[in-house]
Amino acid sequence: MHASTLRQRAVAAAALGLALTLAACGGSSTSSDSSAADASAPASAASTAAEASPEPAAGGPITIGAFGFGESKILANLYAGALTAAGFEPSIIELTNREVVEPALESGEVQVVPEYLGTLTEFLNVKANGPDAAPLASGDVEATLAQLQTLANAVGITVLTPSPAADQNAFAVTREFAEANGLATLSDLAGYSQSNPVRLGGPPECPTRPFCQPGLEETYGMQFSEFTSLDAGGPLTKQALAQGAIDVGLVFSSDGGVAANDLVVLTDDLTLQTADNIIAAVTTSALTPALQTALDAVSAALTTEDLVQMNKMVDIDRADAATVAQEWLTSKGLVS
Amino acid sequence: MDAREGILVNPLGPVGAWFADPANWTGTSGVPARLVEHLWISARALILAFAIALPLGVWLGHVGRFGTLVTSIGNLGRAIPTFALLIILASWEPVGVSDLAAILALAVFAVPPVLTNSFVGVRDADPTAKESARGMGMTGGQVLWRVELPLSVPIVAAGVRTSTVQVVATATLAALVGGGGLGRFVVDGFGRQDTALMLSGVILVAIVCVAIELVLAAVQKALTPPPLRADSVLGAF
């Protein structure tokens, strides 16, 4: 073949080879394995945090994991604000649910998660002792905390002091539905459902969570005709309730938008839900006194009314979660 | 050992077990029921998209005008994130949480390939043949039906196939707003961190997409006028 063609091809081949070699060298593998939920942007923050030494120096980078609903993002921002004031460099990863977040917390991919006392206890209980384990969480904060500490320490998680603020699963129907059928409590709904099986809406994990569908069926004897997988107390669930696609949907007891959306929360008269106080869960190897002090201060100052107020500002008034969190921290004197 | 580690060690084990379990093949959340839901959502979206894009693209190609407009619509349409559109529609009261949200979002997604290809297919049909047809005294409509459309079949069919396979693959999104279909396995599997369930859903969607592609290829061959088929000298697709 032509000498110049041969030369051109040789040059092209060499350039391709060089490019491939450079690409291979440049992409050194990070420690971040595929926790399936990582969004691409925060993944670099997570891998940086995971690559940092297991015991970060006082004031090092900290990754806070949040669940996929508004309140969790607010709480994560509260923690982040307090940690920044204490000299840390926090970053927040928004993930989805506990099934995704808790393994990440155990492994240290995230180091701090704003958790819920009762639900976390049962989650770890089932994980350790199987799906038929006897419940260890209850309405008693102290007793549940003792159980949680044992379970958590066994998997490398330390839980701090629970906050007086609490938020548990709640089930709401539209005001019309409640008035038309005389419903005020979940027992009322269970009675109604005996002859008219109701349609439940909630997050995808609801059919397998003890305080969600199985709990309603076993504790209340509720009859469901179908389950629709939506979000955890988010806009899709409220939309589905409003348009009549579902009869009862999972919301949260500190939800700021329940009344505004013409919904009624049915009272948990048989106390299916446990004491779900906000509690900071920290990877044990990442825990330092400075970290604990900062997070404990936030927990101690937080009340359920504060949560409802902040949820309302974010969900209804469309305020930014970080801004709302910072205002609260400032108002409580936790940051200057 | 949780499900995640199991997958890394023995990828087919839990997934194979899921497929072998007869409970997953019966009932309203079994594979056949979900498959029917999936195909029904896809079909309605495609019918809507084809009803809009095929006549419009063919007619514009026949008159040979607005080429830039068609290309722009095609490019813009492809840039619209279907997931975002789906959530917006589902949160909007007139549509709400229903199959309609998925159908509309998927229809928007399906229009660009079909519109662009039917426009190009008709407009770029062999100009000599078109001239000869007019020279023989055929009316515009006759030129369209008897010359342009048959000649445009390969390109139009490519657009239809692309669109169909893309819609069937993307109909998994319907599960994100409480819809059914094969996406249900993926979304629920993710929510419960049940990797076997998730992977099984993914495999099912892949198999269905490949199967549809093969069926459509056969249909395309049957519909293509013999001189234009791939195994003829003139056919190139």
pLDDT of A152-204, one tens digit each? 999 999 999 999 999 988 999 999 999 999 999 999 999 999 999 999 999 98
pLDDT of residue A50: 44
Q: Which residues of B touch A99 (CB under 8 A)?
A: 191-193
Q: Is A204 on the interface with B (CB under 8 A)?
A: yes
Query: pLDDT (tens digit, 9 = 90+) per residue, A90-134?
Result: 999 999 889 999 999 999 999 999 999 999 999 999 999 988 888
Residue A166 to chain B, least CA–CA distance (Å): 24
Answer whether residue B134 is part of any domain: yes
The angle, 0 to 180 degrees and rounded to 10, between the axes of the packed helices B67-79 and B99-123 is: 150
Domain A169-266 -> CATH class: alpha beta
Tell me whether strands A157-159 and A224-229 are parallel, antiparallel or unpaired: unpaired
> A20 in helix, strand or coil?
helix
Residues 6+ apart with CB under 8 A from A275: A117, A118, A137, A138, A139, A140, A141, A144, A166
Closest by CA to A311, choosing from A78, A72, A75, A71, is A71
Q: How remote is the C-alpha of A36 from its chain's centroid?
A: 15
Q: How far apart are CA B22 and CA B131, in angstroms?
A: 62
What count of other Cβ atoms lies within 10 Å of the Cβ of residue A82?
A: 25
Tell me whether strands A89-94 and A198-202 are parallel, antiparallel or unpaired: unpaired
pLDDT of residue B10: 56
B47-to-A49, A225, B77 alpha-carbon distances in Å:
49, 31, 17
Answer whether residue B174 is part of any domain: yes
Q: How far apart are CA B183 and CA B87, in angstroms?
A: 15
- Where are the domains positioned within chain A? 41-166+275-331, 169-266
The angle, 0 to 180 degrees and rounded to 10, between the axes of the packed helices A186-195 and A213-220 is: 80
Asked if A136 and A121 touch (Cβ cutoff 8 Å), the reply is yes
Nearest CA in chain A to B86: A236
Q: Which residues of A touch B96 (CB under 8 A)?
A: 239-240, 242-243, 245
The tally of domains found in chain B comes to 1
Please check whether the two domains, A41-166+275-331 and A169-266, share a CATH topology: yes
Q: What is the pLDDT along chain B (237 residues), one digit of tens a residue?
A: 445 554 454 556 888 888 888 888 988 889 999 999 999 999 999 999 999 999 999 999 988 888 898 889 888 888 999 999 999 998 888 888 888 999 999 999 999 999 999 999 999 888 888 888 888 888 888 888 888 888 888 899 899 999 999 999 999 999 988 888 999 999 998 888 888 999 999 999 999 999 999 999 898 888 777 777 766 555 444
> B169 in helix, strand or coil?
helix
Q: Is A228 on the interface with B (CB under 8 A)?
A: yes
Answer whether residue B83 is part of any domain: yes
B8-to-A95, A109, A178, B129 alpha-carbon distances in Å:
22, 19, 49, 59
Q: How buried is residue A2: exposed, middle or buried, by Cβ count under 10 Å (0-12/13-18/19+)?
A: exposed
> B178 vs A229: CB contact, 8 Å cut-off?
yes
Looking up residue B90, the CATH number of its domain turns out to be 1.10.3720.10
Residues in chain B: 237
Residues 6+ apart with CB under 8 A from A72: A66, A94, A114
Token pair listed for A181: 């059928």
Q: Is the pLDDT of residue A43 over 50?
A: no
In this predicted complex, what is the ipTM? 0.71
Q: How far apart are CA A106 and CA A175, in angstroms?
A: 42
Residue B28 to chain A, least CA–CA distance (Å): 10
The pLDDT-based confidence of A292 (bands split at 50, 70, 90) is: very high
Helix spans in B64-172 (H): 67-79, 82-91, 99-123, 127-135, 140-143, 149-170
pLDDT of residue B118: 93
Domain spanning A41-166+275-331, CATH architecture:
3-Layer(aba) Sandwich (3.40)
pLDDT of residue A142: 92
pLDDT of residue A44: 43
Query: pLDDT (tens digit, 9 = 90+) per residue, A258-290?
Result: 877 889 999 888 888 888 999 999 999 999 999
Nearest CA in chain A to B194: A99
Token pair listed for B73: 């619509």
Choose the closest CB to B191 out of A97, A226, A242: A97
Closest by CA to B197, choosing from B65, B17, B8, is B17
Answer whether residue B193 is part of any domain: yes
Out of A25-39, A61-75, B210-224, pick the least confident.
A25-39
Choose the closest CB to B178 out of A99, A208, A228: A228
Answer whether residue B11 is part of any domain: no
The pLDDT-based confidence of A35 (bands split at 50, 70, 90) is: very low
CB pairs under 8 A between A and B: 63
| Residue-number span of the structural domain to which B105 is assigned | 31-224
Tell me whether strands A278-283 and A112-116 are parallel, antiparallel or unpaired: antiparallel
Answer whether residue B4 is part of any domain: no
Closest by CA to B104, choosing from B92, B91, B86, is B86
Tell me whether strands A169-174 and A248-252 are parallel, antiparallel or unpaired: antiparallel
Answer whether residue B183 is part of any domain: yes
